[in-house]
Structure 1
Amino acid sequence: MPRMLDVSADVRAEIGDEEADRLLVGDGAPGNYDCTSCRTPGDSEQERTSTVLFVGEETAVLAFAHATCIPSQVVPVSEEQLQGAVRSITGEDPAPRPPAPEPAPAAPAAPAPGGGRQATLGITCGLVLVGDELRPALVVEPDGPIVRPGSTSQQDEFLTLLMEQGFRQVEDVNQLPVMNHGWSALLAMGKLHAVLQPGNAGSQAAWWQAHQPLPVSDGWRQAATKTQTVLMYAAPAGAIGHQPREDLMRTALEKAARNGALVAAVMPLAGT
């Protein structure tokens, strides 16, 4: 039976016209599926469904999502992340879903000279009330000073470096930060994989990448899918701390803003 599938030009280019046409007539496309974005059941025979192709270095996985959640698209991910997503889908080595907010392990950043240790960026996911709307947010805080690459100074320039990339100082957490189109948050298979920044020749590169994809709460994912955006707040080491509840995280953000130690931007959501 023909399926109500959306196959974007990018997905078609990756899988080929023959495979795309097979999917559209129902050959190889599931009738029922779990939406790769909202994780609720879908039916490609009864409702418009997007094809989402996750592409690693050696492997590609085709997934399906409600067209009302996300459009058909190609989502580049690392091979390790893709294999981990496949294991979670097939039930092998499932990753438990922790309550939000939850800190994530992160990639090392530039250490202060003479420190002998690389600073690590920690990311917490949570919902932040901005105006009268709950917004999905990432709160980034290193565990040590971040200096300018190549500098011999001991000065922490974490916020300065981000402001040079389009982030702006936060004076009021109730105000929506500025949009930074060059950056994006990569969500794949319902988990946070990376924060992307502008790369060479119009491409994007990972500014932060999770060692293990970070599960997010259903509320966080739904809010991100609704607005197709994510807020990112950043503060220097020690300004926020690990906050086990979203109300405590909000209080810490407000304190950092009052102290002039908080920058933020809104970035597009990439993937699902």
Structure 2
Amino acid sequence: MPRMLEVSDEVRAEIGDEEADRLLAGENAPGGYDCTSCRTPGDSEQERTSTVLFVGDETAVLAFAHATCLPSQVVQVTEEQLQGAARSIAGSAAPQAAPEQAAPEQAVLGVTSGLILLSGELHPALVVEPTAPIARPGTTGAGDDFLPLLIEQGFMPLPQIDSVPPVLHGWSVLLAMGQLHAILQPGPPGGTPVAWWQAHQALQVADSWRAAANKHQQVLLFAAPVGSIGRQPREDLLREALDKAAANGKLVAATLPLAGT
């Protein structure tokens, strides 16, 4: 049965006309799926559905999303991120035999923007906190390697927030038309940067935040493991949560150049 699928030109170019036509005819597309954006169930027989192709260094994974959540597109990710996405997508595909062990919860990176006062000056900041523990790729168990993985990428442990963290070259914050689109990290040698975090829909930032970003041409990025910061309704409460996480040894940071305006 034909599906209500949307296959963008860039996705079609990657998977080929033959595969795209089979998807549209319903041959290779699932009826039910878990949206790769909002993680709630969708039905490609009943509602408009986007095909989203995650492309890594060596492999690619095709996923599905509500068309209202995400347009059909190609998303460049690291190979490690792709393996996590593949595990998540495989865990939500149906029907299939029940696994011997339940798959771990797929973590999502939550990003909050705010202004941080340092030495009497306001700096634009992004605070990243996953929704679940982050395991090191290729390992099993309940450990959380989020901070060690970031430290290996060049982020610095921050025992207290009293100065601007060192600049992490190769990483950047993508801002366009006053909206936050992505946090970029270095791609493969000689390649273009890839998205470490990408907004499902571009996030609007406050005028004061954008003005500070344009002034400094850089953004402070703070990262903490799940449960360390939480969703804080005010910037003073966000700063308190950051200070507490730093004092508890659960905060890393870096300064990222601004890409865009």
TM-score, length-scaled by structure 2: 0.61
Write the mapping of 1:75-86 to structure 2, written as runs, cut at 5 A.
Answer: none
> 1:108, CA displacement in angstroms?
9.8
- Counterpart mapping for 1:114-133 below 5 A: 114-133=102-121
Contact 2:105 2:132 in 1 (8 A): no
Alignment partner of 1:152: what SS?
Answer: coil
Q: Secondary structure at the match of 1:264?
A: strand
Match of 1:210 in 2: 199
Residues 1-272 of structure 1: matches in 2 within 5 Å? 110=84, 114-200=102-188, 201-272=190-261
Query: What RMSD in Å do the two structures reach over aligned CA positions?
Result: 2.5
Q: TM-score, normalised by structure 1?
A: 0.59
Q: Is the 8 A contact 2:221 2:255 kept in 1?
A: yes
Tell me the amino acid that sits aligned with residue 176 of structure 2. Answer: A
Q: How many residues align?
A: 170
Cα distance in 2 between the residues matched to 1:108 and 1:215: 27
Unaligned runs of 5+ in 2: 1-69, 74-80, 89-100
Sequence identity, in percent? 57
Could you say if the C-alpha distance between residues 239 and 199 of structure 1 is closer, same or farther in structure 2, counting changes exceeding 3 Å?
same
SS of 2:208's partner is helix
Distance 1:117 1:125, change over 3 A: same
Is the partner of 1:155 in helix, strand or coil?
coil
1:151 Cα shift?
Answer: 1.2
1:72-113 per-position Cα deviation (integer Å, ceiling 9, x unaligned): xxxxxxx9599xxxxxxxxxxxxxxxxxxxxxxxx9994999
SS of match in other structure, 1:226:
helix
Instruction: State the alpha-carbon separation in 1 of the partners of residues 147 and 83 from structure 2.
Output: 13
Change beyond 3 A, Cα 1:198–1:128: same
**Offset at residue 198 of structure 1 (A):** 0.3
Write the distance in 2 (CA, Å) between the matches of 1:210 and 1:270.
15
- The alpha carbon displacement at 1:171 in A equals 1.4
- The residue type equivalent to 1:187 in the other structure is L
Distance in structure 1 (CA, Å) of the matches to 2:82 and 2:202:
16
CA contact (8 A) 2:180 2:204 kept: yes
Question: CA–CA distance in 2 between the matches of 1:154 and 1:116?
Answer: 9
In structure 1, give the amino acid aligned to 2:139: S
Cα distance, 1:114 vs structure 2: 4.5
